[in-house]
Amino acid sequence: MIGLSLAYLKDRALNTALNILLLALGVASLVILLLFSSQLENRFDRDAQGIDMVVGAKGSPLQLILSSVYHVDIPTGNVPLETVGLLRRQLGVAEAIPLALGDSFRTFRIVGTEPAYPALMGATLADGRMFAEPMEAVIGADVAARTGAGLGQRFVGGHGMGGGDEGPKHEETPFIVVGRLKPTGTVIDRLILTRIESVWAVHGIEAPHDDHHEGETEAEHADHDHEGESAEDHAAHVSPAEVTAVLARFGSPIAAVRLPGFVNRQTNLQAAVPAVEVSRLLALVGVGLDAVRAFAVLLMLTAGLSIFVALLTALKEREGDMAMLRVIGASRAAIIGQVASEGLILATAGAALGLLLGHAVIGLAAASIEQLHQLGLSATRFHPGEAWIVLAALAIGLIAALIPALRVLQSDIADTLANAR
């Protein structure tokens, strides 16, 4: 029966190809939406894991999150270094990690921070050691793979956070690679990490001195030095050194309720909660995805209708052949199976082509759009939901074939053969 079905489909090759293509486009659309939305949500969750709050300059909270947690946007501005000490003194803050942004190397961002940052992201060294002195750098797995940088290699950063090769270079302050990180599947894979003092140095900013407070951060040292001073006296002694943002991890549920409001209302800073902002972003993106998803479902149903019409028309032309099969002893199940196999062959080909197209589009988009690549969009990952899309396509093909098949069985053999003559 399969051979006979293939022969019939080959006999009307153009019609067959169009039906397969129409169903493939519907399947591909659903696959693209599924992969994009699931990978985007998973990447957002992984990159923000362990980060409860981000503090930075006033502006868009979503921009602050995208720039400081996901590193796909420009920062809202800088904040005084003393912000780090301010947060570390707050009750309920388990960890406060500063970030200093502004430069890049071959589109990879150079991030001034502390060793606590890669530890927070679950990153471990593949080889080398963690940065300890200014101008030492540890590179993520993607950076190492795409640049070929190895231990001991020197490189020069450029101004800007996406086109370091095009902007002005800091030739007088080269970095040296002292360590490489293992792949984590998070944003840190595409970052170049160094001490904050390195970022200040390339921009001609002198780091605050900490000669008398061994083991204490610069921010805490500055805060302790000026205890008891008036606001005006303290402002006169504030260090010119700044950071871009501070990532905070809470040590108690009370801090999650109290601290964001405290920062937003009582300081000149802005606090943003990644979980809240990402939920808003996904809700906004979800509206557009729902509309496209509805169109894709409509496209699949249209493909099913097209298969139904094509099979119905073809069976009308082959009524005599079907009647002869029944005369020579073909069972009802065999007749239904022969017609159903045509619909399943069309649906299988359309589903397979749709899967291939969907993954190919995802791969092409990730390769040509840097932001999508940075978000970790990959064509090699499969989602369990794709199996349901394939099953839906097969069901559409089967249902579209069964209706014409039942019509053939209900026809009178004698009348059909008489008309066929």
Q: 33 and 57: one domain?
A: no
Taking the C-alpha atoms of residue 217 and residue 230, their distance in angstroms, rounded to an integer, is 22
- pLDDT of 223 reads 46
Q: 34 and 149: one domain?
A: no
269 phi and psi angles, rounded to 5 deg: -105, 175
305-333 mean pLDDT = 64
The length of the chain, given as a count of residues: 421
Q: 268 and 132: one domain?
A: yes
Is it the case that residue 352 has pLDDT exceeding 90? yes
124-151 mean pLDDT = 93
Q: 62 and 37: one domain?
A: no
Taking the C-alpha atoms of residue 361 and residue 33, their distance in angstroms, rounded to an integer, is 11
- pLDDT of 237 reads 40
155 close to 174: Cβ distance less than 8 angstroms: yes
- Residue 282 in domain: no
Q: 78 and 131: one domain?
A: yes
Which of 247, 149, 161 lies closest to 199, judged by CA?
Answer: 161
Gyration radius (Cα) of the chain, Å: 31
99 close to 113: Cβ distance less than 8 angstroms: yes
Is it the case that residue 291 has pLDDT exceeding 60? yes
- Residue 6 in domain: yes
113 close to 100: Cβ distance less than 8 angstroms: yes
Q: 63 and 205: one domain?
A: yes
Tell me the pLDDT tens digit for each residue of 52-83.
Answer: 999 999 999 999 999 999 988 889 889 999 99
228: left (phi over 0), alpha (psi -120 to 50) or beta: left
Taking the C-alpha atoms of residue 81 and residue 214, their distance in angstroms, rounded to an integer, is 18
Tell me the pLDDT tens digit for each residue of 172-217.
Answer: 889 999 999 999 888 999 999 999 999 998 888 877 765 433 334 4
pLDDT greater at residue 393 or residue 223: 393
Is it the case that residue 419 has pLDDT exceeding 90? no
User: Domain tally for the chain?
Assistant: 2
What angle do helix axes 2-11 and 13-47 make, rounded to 10 degrees?
Answer: 100
- Residue 122 in domain: yes
Tell me the pLDDT tens digit for each residue of 41-60.
Answer: 888 888 888 899 999 999 99
Strands 158-159 and 93-105: antiparallel
Q: 225 and 293: one domain?
A: no
- pLDDT of 19 reads 83
Q: 23 and 107: one domain?
A: no
For the chain, give the mean pLDDT.
Answer: 80
Residues 6+ apart with CB under 8 A from 150: 144, 177, 180
Domain end, chosen from 272, 307, 342, is at 272
Token pair for 246: 């501070």
- Residue 13 in domain: yes
- CA 209 remoteness from chain centre: 41
Which of 336, 308, 272, 269 lies closest to 53, judged by CA?
Answer: 272
406-417 mean pLDDT = 55
Taking the C-alpha atoms of residue 346 and residue 262, their distance in angstroms, rounded to an integer, is 62
- Residue 280 in domain: no
pLDDT greater at residue 184 or residue 5: 184
396 phi and psi angles, rounded to 5 deg: -60, -45
Paired residues of 245 in beta bridges: 56, 99
Q: 239 and 375: one domain?
A: no
The model's confidence at residue 273, banded by pLDDT at 50, 70 and 90, is very high
Is it the case that residue 163 has pLDDT exceeding 60? no
Q: Which domain holds residue 349?
A: 2-43+289-420
- Residue 278 in domain: no
- Residue 48 in domain: no
Q: 32 and 58: one domain?
A: no
Q: 34 and 79: one domain?
A: no
Taking the C-alpha atoms of residue 328 and residue 54, their distance in angstroms, rounded to an integer, is 78
183 close to 141: Cβ distance less than 8 angstroms: yes
Q: 265 and 233: one domain?
A: yes
Domain end, chosen from 242, 272, 302, is at 272
- Residue 101 in domain: yes
332-358 mean pLDDT = 83
The model's confidence at residue 330, banded by pLDDT at 50, 70 and 90, is low
Domain end, chosen from 272, 298, 315, is at 272
Token pair for 414: 């004698």
